[in-house]
Amino acid sequence: MALFTSGRDFSMMRHINRELLRDIISQQASFYKYKIADTKVNIYGEASGEKYFDGPYIFSCLISRQDQEFPESEIGINFNQIIDFAFFRDDLVDSMYVPEVGDIVLYQESYYEIDDLISNQYFGGKNPDYPNKGSNGQQNPLNPQLEKFGANVSIVARTHYVPSDKLNISPYKERM
């Protein structure tokens, strides 16, 4: 039977993580979610007019930046940067926000589109959604009640830079 990854242990870790993220590290990013029903698309699936967003939804997070790149093309010099935003999963669950590929993250007056979501960091290395029951559905006799141990800790959003003119969005303009 697992000893140190119960719900009570994770509750203590949850409290410490929230205190670290909010009071000590204090990095924040905002999500914008596409309003698909309000955005009109053409036959190619592209927004033919203005794009509409819900948000911003502000969350504390850990930010891992890669170096900026300035590749040259026929048009001129471009800008690119990849940033990973790691969010505490319980904060997202409590706010009932579900990040999705294609959502926009606002960070330091720049916009980043989510390319990938990574959700495989488990407390104690154990995902409670998989209690490893037998093929007949009975509990594991060596480790009973395994579903009470472990937890899914974070969601990492891997993003790339998107120019604000392509999004037609501004943090300074009120949207209806």
DSSP 8-state assignment for residue 148 = G
For 1-17, b/e burial (b = at least 16 CB within 10 A) is: eeeebbeebbeeebeeb
pLDDT tens-digit map of 134-146 = 667 676 666 666 6
Both tokens of 46, joined, read 């592209």
SS3 letters across 158-171: EEEEECHHHHCCCC
pLDDT tens-digit map of 59-69 = 888 898 888 88
| Backbone phi and psi for residue 16, each to the nearest 5 degrees, phi listed first | -65, -45
pLDDT tens-digit map of 56-95 = 888 888 898 888 888 787 877 778 889 999 998 888 888 8
| Strand segments (E) across the chain | 28-34, 53-65, 82-88, 104-107, 110-118, 122-123, 151-152, 154-162
Alpha carbon distance 172, 103 (integer Å): 19
Alpha carbon distance 157, 63 (integer Å): 10
Task: Report the chain's mean pLDDT, rounded to a whole number.
Answer: 77
Contacts with 168 (C-beta within 8 Å, 6 or more apart), sequence order: 50, 51
> Among 119-123, 129-133, 141-145, 147-151, which range has the highest average pLDDT?
119-123
Alpha carbon distance 14, 81 (integer Å): 31
Please report, rounded to a whole number, the percentage of residues in the chain having pLDDT higher than 70.
Answer: 68
Both tokens of 69, joined, read 């790149």
